[in-house]
Every structure is written in structure tokens, then in C-alpha cells.
Amino acid sequence: MLLAQLSDIHAAPDNDNLSRLACALTWLDTLQPDVLVLTGDLVDDGWLAGYQAIAKLLDSKPWPVFILPGNADCHEMMRAVWNDQPWSDTGAMHFVKEISGMRLIGLDTTVNGAAAGSVLEHLSWLEKHLAADTTLPAILFLHHHIFKSGIPALDNIMCSGHRELERLLKNAPRPLVAITGGHVHRPMMSNVAGIPAFICGSICPANPLWLGGESVPPVYDPPSLMIHRFTDGKLVSHHVSVSASTVPDEYITTLK
């Protein structure tokens, strides 16, 4: 099972983040993953044309795609553009999908009108699906990070309820293979309840690794994504950087 993850495109009319996304998708063409998961913040300021452009890029790919919203996203626009996504019928855009011998669980952590996220109101939904009668290994996807990144401004808008989530995961009948999200615009890893936990880097320009000191380190990071490979009962996850310097010719007309 080869699973690709992209996060935090933040496409807007005044930036080149759609082109950066096109470069990342071109890189994925050579790998041909079994599935692609987007963990939120696709566009800024309710840019409908941006959602439509992203959908057009994704529709040109042979792999199935599953999408979560981030705090910058508009639920209503996303539902209108992607009316075939397996989102729950309630206001929250959770999903559960079994594919290629794995169970993908997407948890919508967004809070209306807030940059920070929360899992508190969704713990019963998650508990139900973690207790499902299946032996398939599962990965949990969300947008907001559930462990402290060390970057003060971003940890102020992380996911609330992470301690309650950790208790739930410790008591789950089967442990998750991994937990992975975005939001921070930097690749990181830690563990939550003994489970490997990742933050996927961003397609948009990265945030500095500022840990609260007097100086802010420079940022040179290119667009970033993750590849999760699950085989023989083990997961290996890769942080991958791709070039943003050129956009392949075949995408130029797609982006216009």
C-alpha cells in the first residue's frame, strides 16, 4: 500500500500555489500511489475558482483522492465541488474508507470561524469507528496538529481535546498504525499514545522553525508532501520535497 499525503495548498489569486501543487502532482506521477489524501487548507478566502482548479488537477490523476477540510476552507464550497466524496452527512466532513487492505479514517477538526481546531465534539464518532468489527490496519488523518510543534504561534491554534483523544486512543481495541495531519506548514514527527504521529509539510511556502527565540531562522523549504508505505504489517513514512521552480507544460492549460 502506497499512500500519498498533501496538505496546506492555500491557493489564492495572488499566489502561485496552484503551480506548486502541479509540481507535486507531477512528482507523484512517477510514483503512482494507490491513494492520495489531502489534509486541508486547500484555498484561502473562499476562492471557488481555486477549488475548481484543484479538482481539475486531481481529476486528471488515476488514483482515488480523499479530502479533509482545514480551518481556511469553506465546507459548503467543498461539498459543491466534490459531491462524490465519502463525507459524513452531518456538518462535520469526516470519512472512513477501506482501500488496498487499509482503513483510512478522516476526522474533521475544524471549528467554524476559528483558526484552532477541536476533536472534543467528535470523540464519540471516532470511538465508534475505532471499535468497528475489522482487523484492517488504520491510519487517522486530520488537519490540525495534536502534539506541540514548539512554534508558539501555531501551538496557540492547535487542536484542543488532544489529551482526551490520547486517552481514547490508549483504550482503543486496536492501535492505529499512524496519525497524520498538517496545519503547521513544516514537516515534523512525534508520538501520541505510543502511535507514530506526523505533521505533513505544506505545498504553500513553509513557516520558519521559530521556537520562540530572539531570532527567526530563514526559510528555504520547497513544497513538501508525505509518502506512507505500508507493507508486511509495517509502516515507513517519508517526507519528500519537490521543486517549485518550473511547472510542466502539460499543466499550463489546466491551470488557466
Structure confidence by residue, pLDDT tens digits, 152-194? 999 999 999 999 999 999 999 989 999 999 999 999 999 999 9
- Given this model, what pLDDT does residue 254 score? 47
CA distance 102 to 21: 26
Q: Which residues, 6 or more positions from 138, have their beta carbon under 8 angstroms from its beta carbon?
A: 102, 103, 104, 105, 130, 174, 176, 177
CATH number for the domain spanning 6: value is 3.60.21.10
Could you give the number of structural domains in the chain? 1
What pTM, to 2 d.p., does this model score? 0.94
Region 228-237: mean pLDDT is 96
What element of type H or E holds 26?
helix 17-31
Q: Which residues, 6 or more positions from 128, have their beta carbon under 8 angstroms from its beta carbon?
A: none
Give the domain extent around 22. Answer: 2-255
**Dihedral pair phi/psi, residue 42, rounded to 5°:** -75, -45
Segment 191-199 long-range contacts (CB within 8 Å, at least 24 positions apart): 191/147, 192/146, 192/147, 192/162, 192/165, 192/166, 193/166, 193/167, 193/169, 194/170, 195/169, 196/235, 196/237, 197/146, 197/147, 198/226, 198/237, 199/145, 199/149
Span 58-108, pLDDT tens digits: 999 999 999 999 999 999 999 999 999 999 887 899 999 999 899 999 999
Span 19-49, pLDDT tens digits: 999 999 999 999 999 999 999 999 999 999 9
Compute the C-alpha angle 235/86/89, nearest 5°: 130
Give the largest Cα separation in the chain, rounded.
52
**Dihedral pair phi/psi, residue 122, rounded to 5°:** -115, 5
Mean pLDDT for the chain overall: 94
What element of type H or E holds 190?
strand 188-192
Query: Quick one: DSSP state of residue 110?
Result: B
CA distance 103 to 97: 6
How many residues make up the chain in this entry? Answer: 256
What is the pLDDT confidence band of residue 245, given thresholds at 50, 70 and 90? low
